[in-house]
Amino acid sequence: MQWKFSKRLVTRCKTIRYDGTFDEEESLIIREIRHNIHVNGEFFASVMLIPEQQKEFTYGFLFTSGIINSSDDVVNYRMCENYNIYVYLKDPRPLGSNSTWTITSGCGGGKVLDKTYDDIKTIDSAFKISAADILNHFKVMERESDLHSATRCVHKAYFAGSDGDCFASDDIGRHNTIDKVIGGIVFK
């Protein structure tokens, strides 16, 4: 199958595949680019991402890092050339430079503020979803996974709300896909 993707997302290169014998072929490889996130003019984090859904990622990442609680906390978002992202908050707050960080087990390593674990609240909900609905959404997710099908080197996250609202994301980092979905759904 012939895949068409932006050159900012993928590059072609020769690879060697083994399936009983070694065969050289041309493959699509994902481009991962460093994004530098600045909050209120202060450097916060460098994150490797595929270059799409950066705003969704940034909002989701700042939310899961305990920096913002809603999109109302952000007064300005701007992404400049060379993937520098600038976020300005309505109520400036310390970013945790003097706080305790926990290093996570992500592929590239990561860190989160310890305080975010203390703030996790139990969700009391009667929400239920049937196994059939889960399987149907999984089929939709697979159908919409062109980038994964073409490269076999991205993770995909998919959210399906009870109101029919859906959001999907791709990235090399599986944690990035979750932050993109959170940013795409919570902060739409």
Is 155 a residue whose pLDDT tops 90?
Answer: no
- Amino acid of residue 58: T
Say which residues have a Cβ less than 8 Å from residue 158's Cβ, sequence separation at least 6: 137, 138, 140, 141, 144, 166, 167, 168, 169, 181
Residue 143 phi/psi, 5-degree rounding, is -65, -35
Chain mean pLDDT for the chain: 82
User: What's the rounded Cα separation, in Å, for the pair 159 and 188?
Assistant: 13
88 pLDDT tier (thresholds 50, 70, 90): very high
Given a contact cutoff of 8 angstroms between Cβ atoms, the answer to whether 79 and 63 are in contact is no
User: In the predicted model, is pLDDT for residue 58 greater than 90?
Assistant: yes
Lowest mean pLDDT among 65-74, 101-110, 140-149, 177-186: 101-110
Whether the pLDDT of residue 149 is over 80: the answer is: no
Q: Residues 88-107: what's their mean pLDDT? A: 65
User: Taking a C-beta distance cutoff of 8 angstroms, is the pair 113, 96 a contact?
Assistant: yes
Mean pLDDT of 97-119: 54
Domain ranges of the chain: 33-186
Mean pLDDT on 15-38:
88
Q: What is the pLDDT of residues 161-188, one digit of tens each?
A: 877 788 889 898 888 999 999 999 877 7
How large is the average pLDDT for residues 18-34?
A: 88
pTM of structure: 0.79
pLDDT tens per residue, range 111-124: 555 555 566 678 88
Q: What average pLDDT score do residues 36-65 get?
A: 92
The CATH number of domain 33-186, selected from 2.160.10.10, 3.60.15.10, 3.10.20.10, 1.10.3720.10: 3.10.20.10
pLDDT of residue 114: 54
